[in-house]
């Protein structure tokens, strides 16, 4: 199955009129995913970096539509990409929201890296898992049940983080990792796109 190139991914983002803040978040998730993937590939994990980048750029392709219609954006986005013939990419998009204990203990895949990177990028900044989940708790933890849900999700993501960083020569809050920015990314394809 084909993998959309960076410019094809950006074209799809334009085509669905992805809002600017989601574009910027998606680019940061892609940068972090590829950064981690590159190091993981040097340390015993085998990831397809093109698939990783495309999956990260398009993980929220249906976010705006999902908010408008009430549909789950992961499922809607996966269906969109499946219809376009991007089945491998569709599975990454479908799996970027949920995480369970069985998946955490399985192999490190492109889906897991995009899922993890998405939780590490708050808006367009790389933050710790704790900071990201604290923000979610403040915004959405209206009841004790909600707060318990977020605490359990954080535990799962911390377990995933430990697995990922077992293969890396640096830690989760390494300076280079925490200072990844939008600068210099997709220069040819991205220039002039922001704000459209």
Q: Which domain holds residue 34?
A: 6-179
Examine residue 195 and state whether it is found in any structural domain, yes or no.
no
Residue pair 111/91 in contact by the 8 Å Cβ criterion: yes
Split into its structural domains, the chain has a count of 1
Q: Which residue has the tokens 């377990």?
A: 159
Q: Please give the Cα distance from 42 to 35 (Å, whole number).
A: 11
Residues 122-165: tens digit of each pLDDT: 999 999 999 999 998 888 888 999 889 999 999 999 999 999 99
Examine residue 106 and state whether it is found in any structural domain, yes or no.
yes
**Three-class SS of 115-139:** HHHHHHEECCEECCHHHHHHHHHHH
Helix axes 110-120, 49-57, angle to 10 degrees: 40
- Report the relative pairing of strands 121-122 and 125-126 from DSSP bridges: antiparallel
pTM equals 0.90
Examine residue 30 and state whether it is found in any structural domain, yes or no.
yes
Examine residue 92 and state whether it is found in any structural domain, yes or no.
yes
Q: Which CATH number is 42's domain given?
A: 1.10.3210
Examine residue 191 and state whether it is found in any structural domain, yes or no.
no
Examine residue 190 and state whether it is found in any structural domain, yes or no.
no
Residues 39-78: tens digit of each pLDDT: 999 988 899 999 999 999 999 998 888 788 888 788 888 9
> What would the two tokens of residue 169 be?
């020569």
Examine residue 128 and state whether it is found in any structural domain, yes or no.
yes
């Amino acid at each position: 199955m084909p993998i959309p190139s960076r410019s094809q991914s950006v074209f799809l983002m334009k085509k669905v009129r992805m809002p600017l803040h989601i574009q910027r978040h998606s680019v940061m998730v892609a940068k972090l995913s590829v950064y981690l993937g590159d190091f993981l590939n040097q340390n015993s994990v085998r990831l397809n970096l093109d698939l990783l980048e495309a999956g990260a750029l398009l993980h929220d392709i249906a976010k705006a539509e999902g908010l408008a219609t009430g549909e789950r954006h992961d499922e809607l986005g996966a269906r969109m990409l499946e219809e376009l013939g991007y089945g491998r990419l569709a599975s990454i998009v479908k799996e970027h929201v949920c995480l369970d204990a069985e998946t955490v203990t399985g192999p490190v895949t492109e889906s897991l890296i995009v899922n993890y990177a998405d939780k590490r990028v708050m808006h367009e900044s790389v933050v710790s898992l704790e900071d990201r989940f604290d923000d979610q708790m403040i915004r959405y933890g209206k009841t004790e049940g909600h707060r318990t849900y977020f605490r359990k999700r954080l535990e799962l993501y911390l377990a995933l983080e430990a697995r990922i960083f077992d293969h890396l020569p640096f830690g989760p809050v390494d300076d280079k990792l925490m200072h990844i920015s939008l600068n210099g990314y997709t220069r040819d394809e991205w220039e002039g796109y922001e704000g459209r």
